Amino acid sequence: MLRLFRRKKHPTLSQGLFKTRLSLKEQLKVFLKKGKVDVDILTELEEILILADVGVKITMEVMASLKDSIVNKGLKQREEVYRELKGALKNFLSNSPRTLSISHSPAVFLFVGVNGTGKTTSLAKLAYRFKKEGKKVLLAAGDTFRAGALEQLNHWGDRLGVDVIRHDYGGDSAAVAYDAVTAARSRGIDCLLIDTAGRLQTKVNLMEELKKMSRVIAKVLPQAPHEKILVVDATFGQNSISQGKLFHEFIDLTGMVLAKLDGSAKGGAILSLENELGVPVKLAGVGEGIEDLVDFDPGEYIDSLLSID
């Protein structure tokens, strides 16, 4: 059954950054072609970083550090500055581990985020990955609010051959979570993935509901949920920062999934997002297919972002 989803080529982070790179590549080439370091170099680089939605704050800090490097290290060639730029940008990415916490049994994952960011799809992609690794997976339909949400998750459950714990529409999402964790324990499940309804970070009552879900889960299983994942829509760019901050305030996130990276020309925003939140991006969605979920590797990210190939 899982063979149905198999494709020839595995997706990559670099592939997901295609659109962002498209707008940068030509500018970077022009930048490098000029060869020598001159008075315009920092202005040119600044434009490139802003174009990738790296954000003003980080761009300014990187410019200051490059200026120092050019003077102190006596950089004469643009190629050298370009290498220095990659190093400088990497420093803004989080040092926290990016591996998912799956050592507990069951390992409980809570997916949260604003409406339509890609929560349910990312959850299904991760369930598929776990299933492929031979793990026992269970899904929970914590979105009892949006019309069609239960059917959407059921559909994924059917396709993946994974059970879904669900209540009716209008039900209490914390009660779904409670039942799901209880079921996961009694069935010897390895990974329980809990979906939630999309919500605006400014709606305090809805944010409190997430807190309650988290609390109820911990009552059944202390230390759970082991991963509280914010799913961010990569096309939002810098706008995701304020959203992310509030989600983090309410439920203390452990990681982020950057969904729809393939559709975004704003891949540079990951730098500000991580830097401002202090929460690592662990996975990236690079397409609508079930296999289009990749690990986020900081080195690969910077290299792909600034690649001229």
Contacting residues toward ligand GTP, per CB under 6 A? 113, 115-121, 143, 146, 149, 198, 231, 259-260, 262-263, 285-288, 292
Q: Which of Mg ion, ligand GTP, none binds 262 (CB below 5-8 Å, type-dependent)?
A: ligand GTP
CB of 115 to ligand GTP, least distance (A): 4
Tell the smallest beta-carbon distance from residue 120 to Mg ion (Å). Answer: 3
- Which amino acid, residue 77? Q
**Residue 196 C-beta: closest distance to ligand GTP, Å:** 8
In the bound state with ligand GTP, the residue whose beta carbon lies nearer, of 69 and 243, is 243
Which of Mg ion, ligand GTP, none has residue 117 at its interface (CB below 5 to 8 Å by kind)? ligand GTP
C-alpha to C-alpha distances, 7 to 10, 125, 135, 179, 291, nearest whole angstrom = 7, 14, 21, 35, 8
Cα separation of 82 and 66, whole Å? 9
Residue number with CB closer to ligand GTP (227 or 292)? 292
Q: Give the nearer residue to ligand GTP in terms of CB position, either 143 or 227.
A: 143
Torsion sign, CA atoms 14, 17, 18, 22:
negative
Mark out the alpha helices in the chain (DSSP H runs): 13-16, 18-33, 41-51, 56-72, 78-90, 119-132, 149-160, 173-186, 204-220, 240-251, 269-277, 298-305
When binding is defined by CB under 5 A, the residue of 15, 59, 117, 120 that contacts Mg ion is 120
* Rounded least distance, CB 35 to ligand GTP, Å: 38
Residue 177 CB-density burial (10 A; 0-12 exposed, 13-18 middle, 19+ buried): buried
Taking the least distance from each CB to Mg ion, the nearer of 119 and 266 is: 119
Who contacts 205 (Cβ-Cβ below 8 Å, separation ≥6)? none
Q: Helix (H, G, I), strand (E, B), or coil: what is residue 96?
A: coil
Binding segment for Mg ion (CB under 5 A), chosen from 64-72, 113-121, 172-180, 286-294, is 113-121
C-beta of 119: minimal distance to ligand GTP in Å? 4
- Residue with smallest beta-carbon separation from Mg ion: 120
The answer to whether the beta carbons of residues 291 and 3 sit under 8 Å apart is no
DSSP label of 113: -
**Rounded least distance, CB 37 to ligand GTP, Å:** 39
In the complex with ligand GTP, the residue whose CB is nearer, 83 or 155, is 155
Query: What is the binding site for Mg ion (CB under 5 A)?
Result: 119-120
